[in-house]
Structure 1
Amino acid sequence: MKKLIIVSGGKCTEEEVARQIRSLLGENIYVETILMTEFFQKDIEGDLLLFTSELVAKLILKHLNIEIPYLIASRVINHRNIREVISIPEGTEVLLVNDSQSSALEAIEQLNEIGLNHIKYYPFYPGCGSYSKQEIVITPGEVELAPYTVNNIINIGSRILDIRTIHEIVSELQIEELLKESFVTEYIRDIVEISRSIDVSRRNALESEKMLETILNSVEHGIAFVDDSGMMISVNSKLESILGKKKKDLLTKEFLQFMESSEAILKDHKSWITELEGREVLVETRQVNFDKRLGYLITVSYTDKISKLGHKIRRNYEKRINRKLYTFDDYLSINSEAKQVLKRAEKFSKTDATILIQGENGTGKEILAQAIHMNSYRRKNLFIPINIAAISPSLLESELFGYEEGAFTGAIKGGKMGLFEIANGGTIFIDEIGDAPLDFQVKLLRVLEEKRIRRVGALEEIPVDVRIIAATNKNLLKLVDEESFREDLFFRLNILPLKTVPLRKRRDDIKYLLMHFIDINFGKGKIQSIEELFEKEVLEFLENYKWRGNVRELINLVEYLSLIYEEKRFDSSALHYYMLDNHKEEERVILDTDELWVLGQIDKNSDGGIGRTTLAYIAKKQNKDIGEGKIRRIIKKIHEMNLIEAQGNKKGCIITKKGNRVLEYYK
């Protein structure tokens, strides 16, 4: 049996909400009620927490460490308790008393929305500075909060859960089948009966009809009142939309002429499912009396709307990413070294530790990150990618951590959730982490260590449960030495390191990937073999090409070739001009054995840089006949060829990208 825990600020609210839940879901769900003041004194175990207000949720959640799903209820005025309010003379001023400012204002708004706008409300709540003293006090179950004694106090009772919150609860608990049939119909019937009971001597019939229409048009279901002969005598705007007809075309028409159903269904008060314009709808009927005459109250709802409503409302502030994410099957390779990286990543996906993916652009770092997420227990939650380099440094903190109302000029009312809050329970992928500003690095380090974030302009911290995967194409240790990246952040990110393999080191993948993307861009099966598309020398060139842009460059080439294809093999003139130029440039670099050895040693020590003295020491250990003088001449030569460069303000030198390409060419 599923267990729902209701957390409220007061006994009356607690009892009213629990009564409503039990009346709708019967004995098929266990309901426990806890007052906010007693929450942390109890062992909290259940399937869902329901906070009865935003205030209660805010006070509890900032200290809550347990992992139980929660909802914040939307509550509405209980229509059964408003008869006395209806009878108040028009223009009367009253004091509306509730437990907080937001609750008081919300209650006033709801009373106005349902048509009880003939009186003027003044809010009062604990902590309210000044207030307007009136002869009539109205309160939704908070009588004890009235600031003074008054003879006429109207208690309209605690507000009840609205229809949407009910749908949310049953959807979250996956107990839709337990919801009593026709609960929407019963809810509407209560409204109708109350509206029909309005004291005509105080409010004329026209005002009554206007109030009834306002109430019914605010409901997300089609509603029709049908007389005993089956003719529609009143409809709401939602039914007009569902049937695709105007009110004037529906009134005095038989309801069943718009449905593929027999009259017996209506007479037997049955509910049924049918199709309208290709969409499935649920039709519910209930017998009612109108002015002592028999009739029917009918509600029409889209079935998909009912099942999805709770999720829609709960996450209306979240921008969900509804695209298909990559899995490990999408990381294409037959190379043994790349497969080893995938095998390690698959193991890492089953943990919750931070992962740092390093590798050149175009080697599939984000594909790897998505695959890790999709293979983890977080796969049903959000994967949110963030490119640090694409966000202005001034906006970075507010985008990731959110901000409070009034935090800065232009901040939207009510504040804004950051991406870490939105991704709670899921994964944040931070790309280009090497470009993160130092002040942001400090805040990110705190998130990694404390699992908490603080919105811009806020005092309180918010706990977040987010796995972080970071990626970069830069040498972070080199950035640490240059003091542009924090050493403590590097080691906090580098708990589970992965390094992607560049395509030039995966020569066995080149033909394999070319054929895969040829099938995609030329049409599957249109090109039977790769030799059918390329001249022999071109294929040899592609296999030995350095692929500076890696797989991304290969994909771009295939897309380009698919557009210029003329049913004959491609020769070298079909390739991008820069591919041939770069290759020729590398071919023109001629190095002897000693020069290649020096360049290779500089490459091996690029993380920290290396100077000629250290090179001479390594040469002596390896029994190579290269003295420090010769090493000085070699360094000067390869520096002039742009194969190496000085390491900033420090001694020693490091290899350049051109040097890497030349070294690869000679391998």
Structure 2
Amino acid sequence: MKKKYKLSIIAANYWSSDFLSEQLKKLFGDLFEITCHSPDTTPIQPIYNSDLILLHEPSTLPKMQNFIFSECPILLIRRTIKNEYIDSLKNIPKGSKAVVVNLNTYMAQETMINIYQMGFKNILLNYWSPEEKIFPECDYIITPRIYNFLPKTNIPKIIIGTRVLTADMIMDILSYFNIKMDIAENIILEHLIEAPSFFNGVKYLMKNNRSLTIQWNLLFNKINKGIIVINSHNKIDAINENFYKYLDLEKSKEEFYSEDDILKLFNINNNIELTNELIEFNNKKFLLSKTDIYNHGIYLGKIFFIDLYKSIQHLENNIHKKRKEQINIAKYNFSDIITEDNMMKKSISLCKKIANSSSPILISGESGTGKELFASSIHNYSLRKNNSYFAINCASIPNELLEAELFGYEEGAFTGAKKGGHIGIFEKANGGTVFLDEITELPYHLQAKLLRVIQEKEIRRIGSNFNIPIDIKIISATNKKIPLLIEEHKFREDLFFRLSVFNISIPPLRERKKDIPLLCNFFLKKYNSNKKLLPEFLLFSSQYDWSGNIRELENLIEFTILTSNNNIGIRNLPDYMRDNKKIQSLTFDETLSLKEYMMLKLIGEINSKFENSGRRNLKEIFSYNYFKISEIETRKIISELKEKNLIKVNIGKVGTSLSEKGILYLHKNS
């Protein structure tokens, strides 16, 4: 396994370094191993074996010099304002005086420079932080958020939110580690949606020589399309190599300067919208698309895309071919079963031993445990793997159609029978495998016919007088207790004995505790998520009942990926899970209950935002994020945390704050 590069963050305090760490993880995914360091932690965490150190602000470096034991470069972090907050700055009247406020002087000055670099020179800017004594005269206050140290005044406040890394800063990091082009491309382009690049944003990035080279290699010449970029003045900014290659043009002989040159080249009208328009050039066919580019309603230009028509045809043919090939094949193998559970391993081992037997197999297990996964794997492990595999859900086909679907029928067998008759699944699967899911839903009269198929190895179409010999392996599955159905005369006992020559039992997810983290990580990768599962989430998932088994777990992971902003914890659970009473009685570790841990974590989050951490506010935020608790219960939890020296309960508006022990505890368990 390739070793990850190690990034170390140095910030003035633990909260800043942790916040930057979350930003970097969101940006780079699991590309790097990230460690956080600050001079205000006790003890100070030294830096060993780091590949690159990112410095939050210059004043912190002297305090950390004696704790750096790594011979690697130190890069000062450069940040800028998100695109979503630019409009609020544009609304400030020309000539207004504005004061940029931040936690310290360096961050305030840096933010002020960000604003000037983005072209807002019509605002007279000054800066202020709690380190300064006198608050400057102004018409507006520009601040990341409403801090409690802001002066009590009616001066309008412009919120610009948390700043993000500049695009050139990200490029510096990626180029330093020589990250693969395709990975770097995705990171940079996704970031440019959220944040403007250095100085005049994306337009400057395209014109800046250093950035243009990176963008050219990452985007234009790596995409299998011909691309032409037209700026807002209808002049060509860039043409990639595929454009010349596809059209058989030589760069030295063909020069293009404006959009008019492209329109004349293809003999098209400027006013028409183009989406995969079929055109001909030099006796070759192409698909041409034209897209207008806007940012916050401002027209930036156009992009032309050219695709080879033959390539699109070839792609479509391959897709159709693969779809055709995938009809009636088993999709899964035993290697697709993710488990460390001994019972599951035992079932897999037994399935492999009996895979080549022609005797029926009955798979028992709750809904969502993966019965079809086992059936498909058995087929692919057997000598029948190159023959057909049919999976039928007996509950999904109406009873009156199921017999015709399984056994087939002759022409004229009944009203509505199609001309020429119909070949049934048992006949189509000859030489292969038929998987009958939810076998207990098979109508009683068909159970007798299925028994004959198994015993005599032959079928008779509806309306026919002739038997057809077949060679099929039957795998059935159920989530019900068949012996109980036999007692109720809903299932034939003789059929049960024939179907269950080999009986495979799949344990429910709640009995496979070791598999839950493995499955969670698998689903995170399946949905291309870089989010992490917090310890509190893993604790909950290990003790939840999972009545829907793996299907319910996958649905939960997909839900939390789409609805969570950061890493996944208890607050990201759907309401029906958070309302589960069992969650309130869980233990986090030998020190705290889960409720106490979540309250401690909440106090830390509120402290970091300099918000009110009084008991009433804690109760309201806790009830909103997790589950409802009363003020009495809130008081009890706070009392427990205080007794364990994890928090300080202050008098007045300051409210509750973390102790040094509490900070270290959260750092250890985050």
Which category of TM-score, normalised to the shorter sequence, fits these structures? 0.3 to 0.5
The TM-score with structure 2 as length reference comes to 0.39
Q: Work out which of the two has the higher radius of gyration on C-alpha atoms and give 1 or 2.
A: 1
